[in-house]
């Protein structure tokens, strides 16, 4: 049984390490903040902001010039200057994620990348619901096999039930 637990301990360590990397990556590349939080925290580094494109706010001046629009969410609005590729998703009332930096002097969010709402909650739920029970199912089976080997080893000689009962009665 010792090796069994060592092996599964190793699997657990590997799984925990992957989980930590996954959480780090999520916090770095996937998670998005609201315009309200952006205004409160005024971050200086690159951030992802999730919000809805305000109706009638998209202004495209000329080819090659940044597209301006208002992004709203959780009761706050921010002005965005988008300089990336022209995206089909940039339209009124569409919920999008804009990736870029907050310029506190001009009070605008300068973005070069536009992403769809990731819906990562569904993806995470699907993977956790599959992989955790899978690990538990396998662990349980392997543990049972290991325990059965021990039990069988302990059952030294075959004793028919009737004979065993007679012996018990005699005692």
User: Which residues contribute to the site for another protein (CB under 8 A)?
Assistant: 18, 22, 25, 116-120, 122-123, 125-127, 129-131, 133-134, 137-138, 141-142, 144-145, 148-149, 151-152, 155, 158-161, 163-164
Q: How far is CA 134 from the centre of its chain?
A: 18
18 or 55: whose CB is closer to another protein? 18
Q: How far apart are CA 71 and CA 91, in angstroms?
A: 11
CB of 136: closest distance to another protein in angstroms? 10
CB of 117: closest distance to another protein in angstroms? 7
Q: How far apart are CA 156 and CA 144, in angstroms?
A: 19
CB of 144: closest distance to another protein in angstroms? 5
Strands 95-103 and 108-116: antiparallel
CB of 1: closest distance to another protein in angstroms? 15
The DSSP symbol for 63 reads T
61 or 161: whose CB is closer to another protein? 161
106 or 159: whose CB is closer to another protein? 159
- Listing DSSP states for 69-109 in one string gives EEEEETTEEEEEEE-S---TT-STT-EEEEEEEEETTTTEE
Residue 17: phi and psi, rounded to 5, are: -60, -45
14 or 55: whose CB is closer to another protein? 14
CB of 140: closest distance to another protein in angstroms? 9
How is residue 124 written in tokens? 């995470």
55 or 131: whose CB is closer to another protein? 131
The DSSP symbol for 28 reads I
């Amino acid at each position: 049984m010792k090796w069994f637990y060592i092996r599964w301990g190793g699997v657990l360590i590997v799984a925990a390490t992957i989980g930590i990397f996954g959480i780090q990556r999520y916090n770095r590349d996937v998670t998005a903040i609201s315009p309200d939080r952006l205004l409160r925290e005024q971050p200086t580094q690159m951030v992802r902001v999730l919000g809805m494109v305000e109706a009638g706010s998209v202004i495209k001046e000329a080819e090659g010039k940044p597209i301006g629009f208002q992004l709203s969410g959780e009761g706050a609005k921010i002005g965005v200057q988008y300089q990336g590729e022209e995206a089909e998703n940039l339209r009124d009332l569409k919920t999008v994620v804009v990736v870029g930096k907050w310029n506190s002097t001009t009070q605008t969010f300068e973005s070069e990348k536009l992403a769809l709402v990731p819906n990562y909650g569904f993806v995470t739920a699907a993977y956790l619901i599959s992989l955790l029970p899978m690990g538990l199912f396998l662990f349980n089976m392997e543990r049972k096999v290991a325990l059965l080997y021990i039990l069988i080893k302990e059952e030294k000689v075959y004793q028919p039930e009737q004979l065993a009962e007679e012996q018990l009665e005699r005692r």
